[in-house]
Structure 1
Amino acid sequence: MKSINIKKLYAIHSWVGIITGILLFVVAFTGAVAVFARPELKIWASPEIRTPAQVDPIQVERLVHEYAAMVPDNHFDAITIAMPGMRSATALEIRYEYHGHDHENGGPDSVIQYQFDPHSYELLGEKQGDFETLFDDYQYDMADFIANFHADLHLGRPVGLLITGLLGLTLLASLVTGVIIHRKILRQLFTFRPFKGFSLLMNDGHKVMGVWGMLFHGLIGFTGAFLGLALVILVPAAAYVSYQGDMEALIEDFTSTPDPVIAHIEQPTQIAKPLQHALSYHPDSKLRTARILGYGDANAVIYSNLIGGPQMHTLILEHQGASGEFVQAFGNYSKIEGVSGIVLDIMFPAHFGNFGGVLVKAIWTLLGLSTALLPLSGLMLWLERGLNASQPKYSLQTYQRFNRLVIGACGGVVLATAQLFPLQLVLSFTNLNLANNQLVFGSFFASWLLCIMWALVRFDAAHTVKWMTRLTAGLLLIVMPLDVLLTGSHLLNVLSTGHYVSVAVDWVLFAIGGLLWWLSLRWKPNSAAFLSTAETSQLALSAQLTSGRVVEEKQS
């Protein structure tokens, strides 16, 4: 390839990284944490479900029938049973839904929801309202916050999904241009010099992570772009072209759980038998929700939603409501013939690593951190070259300010995420929860903003990085003793309490905190990007003088 084309691709690669590098780090880092958001961090954050609950299908059936007698007859369009800890539910939830098709008698859509203790099956609370109001009223914890922040940066639809989707495309563009411009990159696959200085560490690390993780980065970029842009652009476009703008018709044609044809023949719906079959379908599968359509009718159908197991994608089990007999198992997009349906089914689990158990999640988290470090190391290399250049494109102050912004924004989001763990313990076990957990939202964004301001004000970048690392380490190190103090949940009594997940989370956070503290003690950067303003000025002046002497020698 001609050198002029290489220069153009290098310019594209650089500018894509400069413009989107910080946001790419933020989304990729929170995505690496969000891999364990559900159910592991959800269980850790919720005292109600730390002890594993063995849901009794007979008790669930009793509750569904008992409370069905208390709701209006028009609220049987669907009955949803949500298992505790699998998504946002911290208790066993039963929802009776009216979908608003009879506006004269029933008004707009509405839901009546009951929450039950997953161990004693006692009623914990009741909510009623339309779908939007009901779900806006959820008490979000840090697990929900991280998962939703990764998805749309808490900007909602369509803005948030559009941004994260476009970031997936920019990640793909960076990968393609990066491989092309580094023509000798294959020769450097095994070149990694972590102890030869910060500059070589960043340079070698950027190339090694880019090449060895290329398939994973490409997978995350593609699936992230699809998941972000599908609901915002792709689905509306398909509905406009083929369904005259009717999105509901499009979704109905492609979903694998159609509404049954109501026979208008009353017959009790069997719930315990389908639930028992779903719970024991596969040892590694977990029942997330069960949805009853046509409750009390002879043609009632029950769809159970399972995650995990031998298949990579979510599995849906169909049972007859009248007899409880198993009918078939299929994916979300089984109606789409050929490879397309399979690809759509595995899109979400491939992005989040929700298949194959904890080991796959751990691998996805480590690779996700490398995806986050890829744009960060690229930004540091760009700053390093700019500060060391004899004739830099921008002023020294410009490089310094941008360097501080990178440190504050990227280091700040790590620290802001770390402080959510001790905060969540205080919120969960001292009854300080506010509506929509305002403290979770406020503390995250406030601490992130303070870190950015701290980095922009300080003149010593290395000192800022060191103390941000130590603060992050300290926040993670106090999680385990704080958990023991507030809950009594620790390794010695884990067999009696059954708090296996929460204790494991505590130890992992403690190990990460210890590693970060050790790294902060060994932090001795020799990179121009971490020197003080006076030192960088002296370095730039030295580079200019050296360049001038070289030119004079050549001329003579």
Structure 2
Amino acid sequence: MKSKSIKKLYTLHSWVGIITGILLFVIAFTGAVSVFGRPEIKIWANPEIRTLAQVDTAKVEQLVAEYATQVPEHYQEEILIFLPRVRGNKHLAIIFESHHGEPVTSDDASIDDVKSEQAAQKHSPPVGTSFEFDPHSYELVREKSGLMSEIFATYESDMADFIVDFHADLHLGRPIGLLTTGVLGLTMMLSIVTGIFIHRKILGQLFTFRPRKSYSLMLNDGHKAIGVWGLLFNAVIAFTGAFLGLAVVVLVPAAAFVSFGGDQDKLVETFTAIPAPVIQNVQQSTAIGSAFDHAFELHDEVIVRSMTVMGYGDASAKMYVGIAGGQNIAAQTAVYQAGGEFVERYSNFGRIEGVTGKILDIMYPLHFGNFGGILVKAIWVVLGLGTALLPLTGLMLWMERGVNAANPRYSMKTYQRFNRLIVGSCGGLVVATMLLFPTQMMIKYGMGNNDVGSIIGWPFFISWLAIIVAAFLVPYEKHFARQLAYVTAALLIAVLPIDLLVTGTNKATELATGHYLSSGIDLVCLALGLYLFKLMKNFPKPLPSANATVINQIVANQASANQTGAKEAV
């Protein structure tokens, strides 16, 4: 490739990084944390779900039969059963749903056809009644009736839900949030492609890392090494992230426009909805317990999440059990007949013919690494942190080259302000994320509020914003970055004592009984905090001459150069 083309690609690579680098760090870092968001961090954040009782499937079947008599008959059109510990559910939840809302009565609808149509539309949203039970005693804890959207909106959330949702859409919602993260995935793919072309000899420098020679070489070698070692992973994350972000707001509407006349609901229903059985009006008990028992025995590592019952109490009833775990990358659905007889098992998009369904099935698991147990998740976290460092080192390298250039493109004050923005934004995000651990326990136990997710955003964003502002006020941003690293280490080390102090958990007993997840979070955070402390102590402190700001350094260099020129002239 010609040198002019390389220069153009380098310019494109640089500007993409400058414009989106900080946001890419935000998405990548929160993504690395989100890998362990569900269920590991969720279980740590909610001690009451760490040791839930074994599910009594016969009791579940009995509860469904008992409470089915307490709801209108049309509410039995679909029954949803969510087991405890699934995504961190604290309670056994049984929801009776009517897809078409409340039936229109003569009092609701006028004889006038227009008014009748308006009345039908008024009652069309799905409605239902939710019952939540204690997983140990199976006593009723909470009951709620209304629109299904309202019922699901009332479920409690926590720090794990907050950080996972923040990674998904930056808490900007749909479509803006998903569109933003999807576009960032595309820009990351563009950076990867241009990076490959401008660093054509990167494979020759695969093992080159010279941290002690100079700061500039350390950034240059580090940026290249992270890029080449994580090339495949970064490409997969960028592509799947772009797809997951743009699928709902761009791809689904486009496909619906082409094939379904713009009807998005019809498109989704065609490929993902559970088909309703043809009711025979032959009364037969639905063997919910037998279906659950069989699902639990499908394989050793199976995770049974939920069940959907269609046509309850009829001979044609079907039960759809949501399962995960084992060697299957994607989540699956096991289908059972009314008597509990196993019918088939398929993945989420398994009914789509050809390779398309298989590709759609692996998108989410590949992005979050939740298909191969803790080891795969750990690998995803390490590589994800590398993905976060890639734009960060690129930004720092761009500034280092700009500051040291003979004729800098921008003023030194501009470079300094941009450097402060990076320190505050990236360092502040890390501190704010680690601050979620003590904040979770403070809100849950100190304030007695179980819906932590509805509040925890305030301390998160306030602390992040405060650090960004502080980065512009402190005398030396390099010292401030070092202080942020120490604060992060302290917060990591504090995770274990906070857990012990607030929950009173006996870690020896917890480990002896095989409940490793919460203890694993404690110990990993402790190890990372201690390592970060050691790393910062061994990391060379700025020399006295480096304590000046970037502007003062450049001014001093220019003054020295002028004096040298004057002597030569004499």
TM-score range, shorter chain: over 0.9
Greater C-alpha Rg: 2
**One-letter code aligned to 2:15:** W
Provide structure 2 residue ranges, at least 5 long, that are not aligned to the other structure: 106-122
| Structure 1 equivalent of residue 194 of structure 2 | 177
- Measured at CA, do residues 532 and 395 of structure 1 come closer, stay the same or move farther in structure 2, by a change above 3 Å? farther
Q: When the two structures are aligned, how many residues end up with a matched partner?
A: 550
**One-letter code aligned to 1:63:** L
| Structure 2 equivalent of residue 477 of structure 1 | 493
CA distance in 2, matches of 1:364, 1:399: 33
The Cα RMSD (Å) is 2.4
SS at match of 1:375: helix
Contact 2:101/2:127 (CA < 8 Å) preserved in 1? no
Q: Please list the CA deviations of residues 425-471 of structure 1 after superposition, one character each: whole Å capped at 9, or x if unmatched.
A: 22333453175644311111111111111112113111111111111
> Matched residues, percent identical?
51
Counterpart check, 1:253 vs 2:265: no
| Structure 2 equivalent of residue 336 of structure 1 | 352
| Structure 2 equivalent of residue 196 of structure 1 | 213
Shift of 1:547: 11
Q: Please list the CA deviations of residues 476-523 of structure 1 after superposition, one character each: whole Å capped at 9, or x if unmatched.
A: 211211211222224322256654211111111111111122223234
CA distance in 1, matches of 2:356, 2:9: 32
Contact 2:43/2:88 (CA < 8 Å) preserved in 1? no
Provide structure 1 residue ranges, at least 5 long, that are not aligned to the other structure: none
- Measured at CA, do residues 118 and 356 of structure 1 come closer, stay the same or move farther in structure 2, by a change above 3 Å? same
| Structure 2 equivalent of residue 326 of structure 1 | 342
Match of 1:542 among 553, 557, 570: 557
- Measured at CA, do residues 188 and 79 of structure 1 come closer, stay the same or move farther in structure 2, by a change above 3 Å? same
Counterpart check, 1:468 vs 2:481: no
CA distance in 2, matches of 1:536, 1:192: 29
| Structure 2 equivalent of residue 25 of structure 1 | 25
Contact 1:489/1:503 (CA < 8 Å) preserved in 2? no
Q: Please list the CA deviations of residues 276-298 of structure 1 after superposition, one character each: whole Å capped at 9, or x if unmatched.
A: 11122111120111111111222
- Measured at CA, do residues 383 and 126 of structure 1 come closer, stay the same or move farther in structure 2, by a change above 3 Å? same
**One-letter code aligned to 1:194:** P
Counterpart check, 1:306 vs 2:323: yes
Shift of 1:56: 1.6
Counterpart check, 1:165 vs 2:182: yes
CA distance in 2, matches of 1:134, 1:548: 75
Shift of 1:258: 1.9
SS at match of 1:249: helix
- Measured at CA, do residues 359 and 139 of structure 1 come closer, stay the same or move farther in structure 2, by a change above 3 Å? same
Shift of 1:197: 4.2
Q: Which segment is superposed worse, 177-186 or 105-114?
A: 105-114
CA distance in 1, matches of 2:13, 2:558: 26
Shift of 1:30: 0.6
Shift of 1:168: 0.6
CA distance in 2, matches of 1:289, 1:549: 77
CA distance in 2, matches of 1:251, 1:232: 13
SS at match of 1:100: coil
Counterpart check, 1:54 vs 2:26: no
- Measured at CA, do residues 520 and 325 of structure 1 come closer, stay the same or move farther in structure 2, by a change above 3 Å? same
Match of 1:315 among 322, 325, 332: 332
- Measured at CA, do residues 434 and 115 of structure 1 come closer, stay the same or move farther in structure 2, by a change above 3 Å? closer
| Structure 2 equivalent of residue 73 of structure 1 | 73
- Measured at CA, do residues 439 and 253 of structure 1 come closer, stay the same or move farther in structure 2, by a change above 3 Å? closer
Shift of 1:266: 2.5
Mapping 1:339-488, distance limit 5 Å:
339-433=355-449, 437-488=453-504
SS at match of 1:76: helix
| Structure 2 equivalent of residue 136 of structure 1 | 153
CA distance in 2, matches of 1:160, 1:60: 39
CA distance in 2, matches of 1:547, 1:229: 55
Q: Please list the CA deviations of residues 188-242 of structure 1 after superposition, one character each: whole Å capped at 9, or x if unmatched.
A: 0111223434332221111011011110000000000000000101001100111
**One-letter code aligned to 2:469:** M
TM-score, normalised to structure 2, is 0.92
**One-letter code aligned to 1:391:** N
SS at match of 1:330: strand
CA distance in 1, matches of 2:225, 2:42: 34
Contact 1:314/1:331 (CA < 8 Å) preserved in 2? yes
SS at match of 2:455: helix
CA distance in 2, matches of 1:266, 1:215: 56
Shift of 1:129: 2.4
Shift of 1:256: 6.5
Contact 1:114/1:126 (CA < 8 Å) preserved in 2? yes
Q: Which segment is superposed worse, 221-230 or 36-45?
A: 36-45
- Measured at CA, do residues 208 and 337 of structure 1 come closer, stay the same or move farther in structure 2, by a change above 3 Å? same
- Measured at CA, do residues 524 and 269 of structure 1 come closer, stay the same or move farther in structure 2, by a change above 3 Å? same
Shift of 1:102: 5.4
Q: Please list the CA deviations of residues 26-57 of structure 1 after superposition, one character each: whole Å capped at 9, or x if unmatched.
A: 11101101101111111111122111432121
CA distance in 2, matches of 1:438, 1:323: 42
CA distance in 2, matches of 1:402, 1:377: 14
Contact 1:269/1:297 (CA < 8 Å) preserved in 2? yes
